[in-house]
Amino acid sequence: MTDESTIKIIKLSTGEEIVCNLVADQHPTLFSVSKPLKLSSIPKLTKQGIEESISLQRWIHFADEDIYDLPKSQVVVITKASYGLTMFYEHCIRKMNAADDNYIPPPSVRDLNDIEDEDLFDLDEYEVSSKLLH
């Protein structure tokens, strides 16, 4: 398990968002990150309206590297990942590492509860004046 404070979401100038472990930012022009995963949002229509789920996938496929240097000029913003996203990221990293050994352990009940309990978007604070959802 990694230090939760080093798990970051980085928005790149290309529009991509990655979740990664920020290894170092002392270099004047580079950030060093390890195990970056591309963050994607997937909208899904439900009876309650549109809900979004997230997907994490390898940012760079078929590479042997674990640490990458990002030019600071290509970074738009860096922010700390939420607790739930951090737990999901760590689960995905464990799953990807285990896949190399042809064994994928299922998430524990605690992992699933932690992810489920994370309230990424609290929509109750917004007042809806009509039943029309956009």
Q: What angle do CA 59, 60, 63 make, to 5 degrees?
A: 145
As for how many domains the chain has, the answer is 1
| In-domain check, residue 127 | no
- Domain, as residue range, for 21: 4-119
Q: What is the pLDDT of residues 81-97, one digit of tens each?
A: 999 999 999 999 998 88
**Residue 130 included in any domain:** no
Tell me whether residue 74 is in a domain. yes
Q: What's residue 98's pLDDT? A: 76
pLDDT beyond 60 at 5: yes
* 1 pLDDT above the threshold of 70: no
75 lies in a domain? yes
CATH code (residue 8): 2.30.30.100
**How much is the pTM?**
0.70
Residue 5 contacts residue 83 (beta carbons within 8 Å): no
Question: Is 134 within the bounds of a domain?
Answer: no
Chain segment 11-55, per-residue pLDDT in tens = 999 999 999 999 988 889 999 999 999 999 988 888 888 988 889
